[in-house]
Amino acid sequence: KQWYQRRVRDPKLRVKREEIEQRFQQRVRNMGNDQEKIKEAGYNDHGYNSHLAETVPINRDIGDKRHPQCKNGGWPTKLPRASVIFCFHNENLIVLLRSIYSVLMRTPPELLADIIVVDDASTDAHPDIREPLDEIVALMGGKVKVLRLDERSGLIKARMAGAA
């Protein structure tokens, strides 16, 4: 398989991911069949239809989306390694994990130094992100690190804290 087709093979990580997905699905079932109520709750919490976002698998195959000219090569083979920084505040866990997985699985390993996830002081109103995120990151073999800020600092300061 090509690097962009890689999928997570660690069974502990797969089990934890499935457990988190099931927990979110159960939460939606507990809200009942009122789709408008579910949709509105997502918009109130995150500014988008988080229920719909939760139905997309975390570790999905998206194929090779590169421009056709990029598939032919022609760039230097020795490129510098990069760190990727994700900053979030009260984000939906499934959406955040899908972003982390996408970078981790679709970036050639020799080019990815690490992924730094900066929690810009998420509140207690979103407890479903802290513990599950830490558990999943612990299973990712040290490539992903979580930094938690004590007070809300905003995107740029959170990004700078992740880069430090």
Range among 5-9, 126-130, 134-138 rated most confident: 134-138
pLDDT band at 147 (very low <50, low <70, confident <90, very high): very high
- Whole-angstrom CA distances from 119 to 29, 60, 62, 76, 130 are 28, 24, 27, 35, 9
Q: Where are the beta strands (DSSP E) in 23-74?
A: none
Least confident stretch, 24-33, 53-62, 147-156: 24-33
User: What's the pLDDT score for residue 10?
Assistant: 60
164 CB-near residues (< 8 Å, 6+ apart): none
| Residues 118 and 158: beta-carbon distance below 8 Å | yes
User: What's the pLDDT score for residue 146?
Assistant: 95
Q: What is the pLDDT of residues 38-49, one digit of tens each?
A: 778 777 877 887
CA–CA separation, 87 and 96 (whole Å): 10
Report, in angstroms and rounded to the nearest whole number, the Rg of the chain calculated over CA atoms.
17
